Amino acid sequence: MSFAYSLMPHPNFPKSVSLDGAWQYHLNHEPQSKEYQYEFDGSEKSMNLPKNWYKEGINHAGIIWFQKEFDADILVEGKQQILHFESVDYLCDVWLNGIYIGAHKGYFQNFEFDITHALKEGRNILKVKVNSPLENYPDHGSLHKTLLRGVYAHHDTRPGGAWESEGQDKNSGGILGSVSIKAHHDYKLEKIRLTPTLRENSVSLEMEVVLKLLEDKLFSFSKNVDVFVTPYNFKGKSFKQTFSLNSNEKTTFSMDLEGARRWQTHDRGFPSLYVVTFKVAGFEHSIVTGFKSLTQNADKVRFLNNKPFFIKGTNYISSQYVTEMTKEKFRKDLELMKKAHINAIRVHAHIEPEIFYELCDEMGFLVWQDYNLQWGYIETPSFQDEAEKQLLEMIDKLYNHPSIYIWSMHNEPPWNAPWMKYKDYNPEQNKAFDERLYQSALKHDPYHLVQKLSSADEHPWFGWYSNKYQKFAENSKSMLITEYGAQAIPHIQSVKKFIPDKYLHPKYPAAKKHWEYHNFQFNWSKKQGVEFKTTLKTFIKDSQTYQADLLKFATEMLRIQKYEHTASIFQFMFNEGWESMNWGIVDYWRVPKAGYYALQKAYAPIIIVAKQLPNNFLEFYVVNDTVAEFHDLTAVIEINGKSFNFPLNLEKDSVRKFANFSLTSESKVVLKLKNGEKLIASNSYDFSLLEEKEKK
């Protein structure tokens, strides 16, 4: 759970004035001294902010100066005027009326400065220097990165991919969130952390609050705070209690909420949310949150509200340019996920805008939250200090969101990724660094799960980077599978939107280079038997069919191992974050590929599955992820038109092996699970006999 979002403006809540809209800007192409300030002369172009500057047609890595003029008359009266930024990527320095205000590093944090001393009557000039630099690729490569920007700086789904110098193209920089000036009076709520503990029929809600006194005084004081807990998205019981709150220090108190509802994922129930409102010292502040517990046992089986819960997830990067994502676009993505029976989302090596987490709270999705570390990083003391600082800022920012259930420090660090054996590879690189972050996160947040890394063992790329996808039939080596999948080319209507006609048929080096820039991996596709042969339509069909077949097989095999060899699975990945052709099961325009429908069926709450063993025996399973029991069901197996019926009962949240057959010839197998005449699940296979070499 986390410092969630304000429900609504309140009469006494600090008033703000938006500075969004047109800002003048200037590209800084030449190196300048640290003290240099660009002087605007009025001839500069304007940009509507907030915006990724690439989305304004500016493909620039480095510094852009922004300036905004405003009149003091627009400000709301207050003892302290606070300049508030929601998000700037990546470095920024701020001046007001020529007075240096401060600096910030990072792209996902809210941050602010007291500008009361620099304001003047009449016209004011606000100047912001934004620096969104490169990683100096290929010198830094995937081993020695210097920026805490995750997938926004270097990743194999970025423009140009991860292995060429073009992989740093189409920079993600900009003033990405709203800019405003807030008026405060005597007090300011600095921090609120809400931690629920579930009892048998109640919730104990612990609240940590820091109230800051804005004027220095010679005496200490306390204030009463009224806390209201009221239902947000349902009708139910409300709660109220009054506590004593000290200024300028953390105060912890708790409320017992008898009969409070639990937050659930959309497939387990209803995501019940509450508004927690603090009324103190003449103003009030509200947070929307929910009450859940998510724990794990020694085998990493997850327990949601004390009941075993199998996670069916996907990896997600909404966009390489977050300002193009609106609430409506996020909701559309989540609706597509819900229709595919996805109940959890791994935010892959970055942090999404706040509205995404709000919608996950509201729509009932769990969130695996990666930190910004993707592959290898330098290990200087200053970098490690900054990384730890930003990690704790991420935790504080998202803590109160009920959708959050785990923090993961590092995706595929060098010490766990031997495929990174470049000329200067060090098998211990980042190991002590990751341990430091892990321990820091554990200490800072004892409520959520914390994982040191997303490891190579959790990423069985069978059928793409290694082996054949049939290897998924073997017992999983990890209870957590956080990446699996294959690339697929989007439908031809989408491809034609970003591939020029002269490059549509990738038979020549120039055309292949263009496709590779848009992330397609010809070599790995060819190794799995998918390559351009006759027409583009055939190539697309073969590519999508292969992705769909892999996802169907892998997901079914992983699900029949539920709680024994697997506890959570995350397909890689949901969508393409720019005009590209990679691992998404929906493309950049959110057009589903065949893989989407394959995952949708394989993730269904109840599935019926056949598994072929090396000795050419077939085993038959039913998987039930629901919390309902089913009686008097009939499983029907049709082999080459001959039908066999098996009566069975199905326990809640279970895996049931109900039959096996010896396969003696090439066979068409059709499976049905029925309740009377009602069809609950179905499946079909075309089996061939495994040869000796395939068995091995």
pLDDT of residue 138: 60
User: In 3-state terms, what secondary structure has residue 599?
Assistant: helix
Average pLDDT over residues 394-398: 98
Max CA separation in the chain (angstroms): 90
* pLDDT at residue 221 is higher than 80: no
Q: How many CB atoms lie within 10 A of CB 572?
A: 24
pLDDT of residue 167: 84
Cα(626)–Cα(643) distance, integer angstroms = 28
User: For the purposes of burial, counting CB atoms within 10 Å of the CB of 71, is it exposed (0-12), middle (13-18) or buried (19 or more)?
Assistant: exposed
pLDDT of residue 16: 87
Please, which residues have CB within 8 angstroms of residue 269's CB and are 6 or more apart in sequence?
Answer: 262, 364
Helix ranges (H only) for 522-642 are: 522-527, 536-559, 594-602
The domain locations on the chain are 21-134+171-177, 187-295, 606-695
User: For the purposes of burial, counting CB atoms within 10 Å of the CB of 433, is it exposed (0-12), middle (13-18) or buried (19 or more)?
Assistant: buried
Residue 216: pLDDT band (50, 70, 90) is low
Minimal CA–CA distance to 316: which of 382, 237, 370? 370
* pLDDT at residue 591 is higher than 80: yes
Cα(274)–Cα(263) distance, integer angstroms = 9
Note the pLDDT tens digit of each residue in 295-339. 999 999 999 999 999 999 999 999 999 999 999 999 999 999 999
pLDDT of residue 356: 98
Peptide bond into 50 cis (omega under 30): yes
pLDDT of residue 217: 52
Residue 652: pLDDT band (50, 70, 90) is very high
Average pLDDT over residues 51-56: 96
pLDDT of residue 210: 87
Amino acid at 429: Q
* pLDDT at residue 567 is higher than 50: yes
| Cα angle for residues 654, 660, 666 (degrees, 5° grid) | 125
Q: Given the structure tokens 């491809």, which residue do they identify?
A: 495
Q: Given the structure tokens 């240099």, which residue do they identify?
A: 36
Q: Are 514 and 555 in contact (CB under 8 A)?
A: no
| DSSP letter, residue 53 | G
Amino acid at 141: G
Between 420 and 50, name the one with better pLDDT. Answer: 50
Average pLDDT over residues 486-503: 98
Q: 187-295 and 606-695: same fold?
A: yes
Cα(428)–Cα(416) distance, integer angstroms = 9
| DSSP letter, residue 680 | E
The CA–CA distances, whole Å, from 608 to 153, 412, 555, 655 equal 42, 34, 12, 10
* pLDDT at residue 31 is higher than 90: no
Helix ranges (H only) for 410-535 are: 431-444, 492-498, 509-517, 522-527
* pLDDT at residue 169 is higher than 70: yes
The CATH code belonging to domain 187-295 is 2.60.40.10
Residue 476: pLDDT band (50, 70, 90) is very high
User: For the purposes of burial, counting CB atoms within 10 Å of the CB of 414, is it exposed (0-12), middle (13-18) or buried (19 or more)?
Assistant: buried
Average pLDDT over residues 474-480: 97
% of the chain beyond a pLDDT of 70:
95
pLDDT of residue 3: 29
Q: Tell me the two tokens of residue 642.
A: 């001959």
pLDDT of residue 185: 79
| DSSP letter, residue 693 | H
Average pLDDT over residues 83-103: 97
Q: Are 288 and 274 in contact (CB under 8 A)?
A: yes
Average pLDDT of the chain, as a whole number: 93
Q: Are 543 and 515 in contact (CB under 8 A)?
A: no
CATH-assigned architecture of domain 21-134+171-177: Sandwich (2.60)
pLDDT of residue 313: 98
In the chain, the N- to C-terminal Cα span, in Å, equals 48
Fold classification of 606-695 is Immunoglobulin-like (2.60.40)
Residue 696: pLDDT band (50, 70, 90) is very low
* pLDDT at residue 614 is higher than 60: yes
Q: Given the structure tokens 């439908």, which residue do they identify?
A: 491
Cα(266)–Cα(670) distance, integer angstroms = 30
* pLDDT at residue 656 is higher than 90: yes
pLDDT of residue 220: 54
Cα(266)–Cα(268) distance, integer angstroms = 6
Average pLDDT over residues 93-108: 97
DSSP secondary structure of 108-147: S--EEEE-GGG--SSEEEEEEEEEE----TTTSTTTSB--
* pLDDT at residue 560 is higher than 50: yes
pLDDT of residue 222: 66
User: In 3-state terms, what secondary structure has residue 483?
Assistant: coil
% of the chain beyond a pLDDT of 90:
84
* pLDDT at residue 4 is higher than 60: no
Note the pLDDT tens digit of each residue in 497-541. 999 999 999 999 999 999 999 999 999 999 999 999 999 999 999
| DSSP letter, residue 466 | B
pLDDT of residue 2: 33
pTM above 0.85, yes or no: yes
